[in-house]
Amino acid sequence: MILILVESPTKARTLAKFLGKGYTIEATMGHIRDLPKSKLGVDVDHDFLPSYIVPVEKKKRVAELKAVASNASEVILATDPDREGEAIAWHIASILADSNKPIAVSRQPSVKGKKRIADSSELKADSYKRIVFHEITQSAILDAVKHPQEVDMRLVDAQQARRILDRLVGYTLSPLLWRKLSRRWLSAGRVQSVAVRLIVEREKEIRAFLKGTYFTIDGTFLPPSSKTEILTAELLKKDGVPYEKSTTLTLFDGTYTSKTSSILSDDQANAIISDIKAPFAISAVEKKEVRRSPPAPFTTSTLQQDSGRKLSFSAKKTMQIAQKLYEEGYITYHRTDSVNLSEKFLAEAREYIGKTYGEKYLPDKKRMFQTKSKVAQEAHEAIRPTTVGMTGENFEVPSEMNHDHVRLYELIWKRAVGSQAKEAIFDSTTIEISSSNGYVFGAQGSVIHFDGYLKIIGREVDETVLPSCTVGERVTLKSLALVPHESSPMPRYTEASLIKALEEKDIGRPSTYAPIISTVQERQYVVKQEKKLVPTELGFLVTDFLVKYFSHIMDLPFTAKMEASLDEIANGAPWVPVIRAFYDPFMEDMKTAENGAEKVKMEEETLDEKCPSCGGGLVIRTGKYGKFIACSTFPACKYTRQLVEKIDMKCPKCGADIVVKKTRTGKTFFGCGSYPTCTFAAWKKEDIK
């Protein structure tokens, strides 16, 4: 009997469909060995040697796996094809080889006189085999079984180094926050805290932004060749001097450029309108062909961004659904930085496009994409369907899946297949209209001449059709309209835009974005309001504290450089010097903060209400699960109650106050304050009508 070990029961069930008798597939049910939760678990005096344990809840499963393995003629490790999967395979091999013998991740000589512990490269190669596949299909599984390999210790080292570094930061910095901010549920992390800082700094910039009013002037004109088609154009310039002006702001995370008008008052605008003189004529008509190539197939990051924008999925939900699709065999591995596609898929996609949409949609040769990430890692392919012929329309939905799985699959299918179609062609037209005294109006339009890849992924652009005009042709002014505008600050981050920013700045890795965004919301550092990420007062306090005393780990370039150093370990660089270079200065900062930082007190809003238990004052406090009302004399009086946050709107059904509520998963919505008598609810304020 050959034993194959995977992480999940779903993956085990899918593999069992492709392998015949003689194979037993068992699931480890996730990680079976890890650093202890109750202590640091890293020996900082001896090359940061980790002390792994089998958690209590996993001991029974480990005993079962050892029993099955003892009767197996061969053990095959089939964990996921990334660094975490490689580390899980190494842990399994270590436990099955000798659960009582610790096995270190380092192959480096010992230091400080401590004897080096054997690493997994010294495990007997014939005691286990490692197989790697990026899709759970019969051909991929059978091919992997025919070509087994050993655990790649470079990937194990890379994963363990990242795990050890994050443990050192989290288990050292978090207790400091507990002591200095008097809240034992706070946490800090090397990447998590930088992500919160991005959100906090953006909010500071928004609050500091000075709004202003400006105006544009629109003219509607009637070409002589048409009695019904109206040409609407915006005033662009006078005697060659444009009215548009650009303002560039230097921000914490880059620059932000806003374009406004130099017309700043209605008096100025009305004076311009009074000065514009007829006659009007077409002074320029520019027509050009614009070609737009299809986007690359999805990586982990771009999938999270697109599903957030188009499906309103959180990053966490996206990854959960993608995990299910992968384990059921519908898509390739979903943790990847690569935009490559296999030769097999390229051939199948080209054949499908030619037969389904026609040869005119098929480019002369296959389309290849180049990975933009400086340190691309993980799987060797982009996220794609395993079967080109299974579209969203004929997707077979298992009983444990739902419509959301179909929607995400369809998004992945369209992006991957569409990437191999021809580019879309647009006819772009620009028309300028000049007055007799030097004022120039402009209008732009575009029409899809050939839809190309848009035929597959859907039309995501608006067409603007302009009436036919020729240079020198006189037009009749129908009206001039003054349009007021308000300058706006840079937008708050959404999950999608935050993920994009983290990736662009090389902060963290795509597989970590979803848990980071979930954690900062669970810790009450950030709340999601109408899809926007807004920092709480606690988020401001923690960020300001960390920036003051730990400027290095809160610095974007430093964090990006640290990520690059960790990635170099996967290429064979030693990991201990990387950890040491970070840890020593970090501990100096810890000493400074421990000795010099005073306790930070969060401001509490006082209510004009007395405590019903003791008569003391009531205040609004922030706890592990959000804001609540408590007695100001705590701990003498422990009175608390839920905080009902009202907004200045009434229920359209019964007229009661609308209050802010949260789902079980922490998502904010608006509901009637008289619930359950009235069940009105809405996700957005604009839906309350």
In angstroms, rounded to a whole number, what is the distance separating the alpha carbons of residues 171 and 487?
Answer: 44
In angstroms, rounded to a whole number, what is the distance separating the alpha carbons of residues 419 and 408?
Answer: 17
Which residue in the list 214, 333, 357, 583 is annotated as catalytic? Answer: 333
268 contacts: CB under 8 Å, gap ≥ 6? 215
In angstroms, rounded to a whole number, what is the distance separating the alpha carbons of residues 553 and 268?
Answer: 50
Beta bridge partners of 485: 214
CA torsion sign, 334 to 336 to 339 to 341? negative
316 contacts: CB under 8 Å, gap ≥ 6? 514, 515, 517, 518
Asked if 335 and 546 touch (Cβ cutoff 8 Å), the reply is no
Which residue, 528, 529, 501, 545, is CA-closest to 186? 545
The reply to whether 333 belongs to the active site is yes
Each residue of 628-658: b (16+ CB within 10 Å) or e? Answer: ebbbbbeeeeebbeebeeeeeeebeeeebeb
**What amino acid is encoded at 203 in this protein?**
E
75 contacts: CB under 8 Å, gap ≥ 6? 2, 3, 5, 69, 96, 127, 128, 129
In angstroms, rounded to a whole number, what is the distance separating the alpha carbons of residues 582 and 586?
Answer: 6
Q: CA geometry: angle at 664 spanning 659 and 668, to 5°?
A: 40
Asked if 627 and 645 touch (Cβ cutoff 8 Å), the reply is yes
Q: Is there a cis peptide before residue 363, judged by omega within 30 degrees of 0?
A: no
Asked if 499 and 172 touch (Cβ cutoff 8 Å), the reply is no
- Per DSSP (E only), the strands in 416-470 are 424-435, 439-450
**What amino acid is encoded at 336 in this protein?**
T
Instruction: State the catalytic residues.
Output: 333
